[in-house]
C-alpha cells in the first residue's frame, strides 16, 4: 500500500495532471466527495487530502509515504524525517517582504507580521535587522494597513493582492515551488516502490 499526501486547493489542482500522467488517477466523483482518503484507479495507492502545512507532518511520521508541499511550508517545517526528492515546478510564487509605500523600514526594531515565522526570522537575521515577528494565520496584508506591523512576509504571485491593499514588494526572500517529499524511513524500506513512482512522475514533468 502506498499513501500520497496532497493539500486541497491549487497544489491538488496542479498535481492531479502529474499523477495522471504517471498512471495514478482519481475519479471525479471521488474528488467531489467529502472523503479525506481518496481511492485511485490503483488498489494499492491512496491519496489523503489535508491542509498544506500538515503535509510534511503526515510524511515525517510515516502516515503518508510521500507528499507534495510548497517550499514555503517545507522551510517552516524543517527537514526532520523527510527527504525532498523532486522540484515539481508547480504552484510557483515568491516569498517576499512587502509594506506600505511610504513605510519607514529603517527603525531599530521592525514589526513583521507573517505566517512564515521561521523564514522571516532567518531572513532578517541574515540582514542584520532586529525584528519582532507577529504570527498570523492569514490575511497578512491587513497588518500594515491597521498598524499591526511595519511590514509583512508573504507569498506573492501576480502581485494583485498587494496592489489591492496598497502594499508594495520590498525584497525577495525565496523563490517557491512545490516539492515531492518522502518519509526518510519509508524511502529505505519501500525504496523500490517509491523510486519507481518518482521515476514515472519525473519522466512526465
Note the residues at the interface with ligand PRT (CB under 6 A): 9-11, 51-53, 70, 72-73, 91, 93, 154-161, 176, 178
In the complex, minimum distance from the CB of residue 205 to ligand PRT, in angstroms, rounded to a whole number: 17
In this complex, which beta carbon is closest to ligand PRT, that of residue 63 or of residue 155?
155
53 and 77 in contact (C-beta within 8 Å)? Answer: yes
In this complex, which beta carbon is closest to ligand PRT, that of residue 2 or of residue 113?
113
Neighbours of 48 (CB within 10 A): 19
In the complex, minimum distance from the CB of residue 138 to ligand PRT, in angstroms, rounded to a whole number: 7
Assign residue 193 a region: left if phi > 0, alpha if psi is -120 to 50, beta otherwise? alpha
Strands (E), the chain: 2-7, 37-39, 45-50, 66-70, 82-87, 93-100, 109-114, 130-135, 151-156, 167-176, 178-183
In this complex, which beta carbon is closest to ligand PRT, that of residue 66 or of residue 190?
66
Give dist(CA 8, CA 48) in Å, integer.
Answer: 10
In the complex, minimum distance from the CB of residue 181 to ligand PRT, in angstroms, rounded to a whole number: 13
In this complex, which beta carbon is closest to ligand PRT, that of residue 70 or of residue 81?
70
In the complex, minimum distance from the CB of residue 106 to ligand PRT, in angstroms, rounded to a whole number: 26
Amino acid at each position: 500500500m502506498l499513501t500520497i499526501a496532497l493539500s486541497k486547493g491549487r497544489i491538488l489542482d496542479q498535481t492531479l495532471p502529474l499523477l495522471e500522467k504517471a498512471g495514478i488517477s482519481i475519479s471525479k466523483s471521488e474528488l467531489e466527495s467529502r472523503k479525506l482518503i481518496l481511492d485511485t484507479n490503483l488498489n494499492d495507492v491512496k491519496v489523503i487530502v489535508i491542509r498544506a502545512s500538515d503535509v510534511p507532518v503526515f510524511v515525517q511520521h510515516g502516515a503518508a509515504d510521500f507528499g507534495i508541499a510548497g517550499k514555503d511550508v517545507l522551510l517552516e517545517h524543517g527537514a526532520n524525517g523527510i527527504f525532498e526528492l523532486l522540484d515539481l515546478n508547480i504552484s510557483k510564487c515568491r516569498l517576499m517582504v512587502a509594506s506600505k509605500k511610504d513605510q519607514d523600514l529603517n527603525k531599530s526594531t521592525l514589526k513583521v507580521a507573517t505566517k512564515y515565522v521561521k523564514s522571516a526570522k532567518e531572513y532578517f537575521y541574515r540582514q542584520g535587522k532586529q525584528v519582532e515577528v507577529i504570527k498570523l494565520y492569514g490575511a497578512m496584508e491587513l497588518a500594515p494597513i491597521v498598524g499591526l506591523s511595519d511590514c509583512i512576509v508573504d507569498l506573492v504571485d501576480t502581485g494583485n493582492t498587494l496592489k489591492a491593499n496598497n502594499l508594495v514588494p520590498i525584497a525577495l526572500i525565496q523563490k517557491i515551488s512545490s516539492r515531492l517529499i518522502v518519509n526518510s524511513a519509508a524511502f529505505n524500506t519501500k525504496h523500490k516502490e517509491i523510486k519507481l513512482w518518482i521515476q514515472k512522475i519525473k519522466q512526465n514533468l
